[in-house]
């Protein structure tokens, strides 16, 4: 496949590679092992990009209309996607949004714990429970960030409290922004039992499940080494200026 810049721009969606679960894991392994990226470094890159995507999709000026503050509820799962959500919340706070975090099953991984402490030190509030009354969520927040289940999740083995969280997320009326893979979706198959987000932020490269996604879709993968892009024939679009993400 030709990777000329002309073709990349012309084919921002149609000629993009959409990755399988095996390819997602292989690329991340290579980044960590062969290219000496650190896990913390990758999570930081991804979380920062997610916050920028949210700012592009929902600028502060649009969110303050009718509400006192631009409030964001960030729901984090126990694995890597949850830590990306924590970093996203920290950057949202820096960007002058008002994030609140719901993190019901905290990871025992010290790296993930570090991200939690960083949020606590920035006085970002953590909810002790998620309101089951969806009206309370609709009234209190402008948007919800879904950082619950990621590409590594075994969707045949989802347990509480995450099954209950998915039920709630399916009912709310405010916009949902999903990180990498919408919760409840299989990496390779679109919305089986999952939620219906308004915005999807694909990390590194889009996954197969995103091929038919009809909402606002951002891609954050500019950091990828060229050799990996070529090896996996990703045909990533050209990113504008110095932006770390692009809307597909």
**Domains defined along the chain, listed by start:** 5-247 (3.40.50.10260)
As a whole number of angstroms, the distance between CA 73 and CA 213 comes to 23
Q: How does pLDDT run across 153-183, given as a tens digit for each residue?
A: 766 677 888 889 999 999 999 999 999 999 9
The answer to which of 40-54, 57-71, 128-142 has the lowest mean pLDDT is 57-71
As a whole number of angstroms, the distance between CA 190 and CA 182 comes to 9
Bridge-based pairing state of the strands 176-179 and 143-147: parallel
Highest mean pLDDT among 21-35, 62-76, 152-166, 185-199: 21-35
Instruction: Determine the pLDDT at residue 151.
Output: 75
The larger pLDDT score, comparing residue 7 to residue 43, is at 43
Query: What average pLDDT does the segment 77-106 reach?
Result: 95
Most distant CA pair in the chain, distance:
52
To 5 degrees, how large is the angle CA 182–CA 246–CA 24? 50
As a whole number of angstroms, the distance between CA 236 and CA 203 comes to 12
Residues 6+ apart with CB under 8 A from 161: 104, 105, 130
As a whole number of angstroms, the distance between CA 108 and CA 38 comes to 18
pTM for the model stands at 0.90
């Amino acid at each position: 496949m030709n990777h000329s810049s002309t073709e990349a721009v012309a084919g921002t969606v149609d000629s993009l590679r959409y990755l399988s679960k095996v390819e997602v894991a292989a690329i991340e392994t290579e980044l960590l092992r062969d290219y000496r990226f650190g896990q913390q470094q990758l999570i930081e890159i991804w979380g920062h990009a997610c916050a920028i995507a949210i700012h592009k999709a929902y600028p502060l000026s649009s969110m303050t209309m009718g509400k006192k503050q631009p409030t964001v509820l960030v729901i984090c799962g126990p694995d890597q996607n949850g830590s990306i959500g924590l970093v996203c919340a920290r950057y949202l706070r820096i960007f002058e949004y008002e994030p609140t975090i719901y993190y019901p099953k905290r990871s025992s991984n010290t790296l993930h714990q570090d991200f939690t402490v960083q949020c606590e030190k920035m006085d970002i509030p953590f909810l002790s429970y998620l309101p089951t009354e969806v009206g309370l969520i609709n009234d209190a927040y402008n948007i919800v960030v879904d950082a619950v289940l990621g590409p590594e999740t075994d969707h045949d083995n989802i347990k509480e409290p995450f099954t209950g969280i998915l039920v709630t997320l399916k009912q709310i009326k405010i916009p949902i922004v999903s990180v990498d893979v919408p919760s409840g979706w299989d990496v390779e198959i679109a919305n089986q039992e999952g939620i219906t987000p308004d915005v999807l932020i694909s990390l590194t490269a889009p996954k197969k499940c995103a091929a038919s996604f009809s909402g606002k879709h951002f891609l954050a993968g500019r950091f990828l080494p060229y050799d990996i892009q070529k090896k996996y024939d990703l045909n990533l679009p050209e990113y504008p200026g110095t932006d770390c993400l692009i809307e597909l």
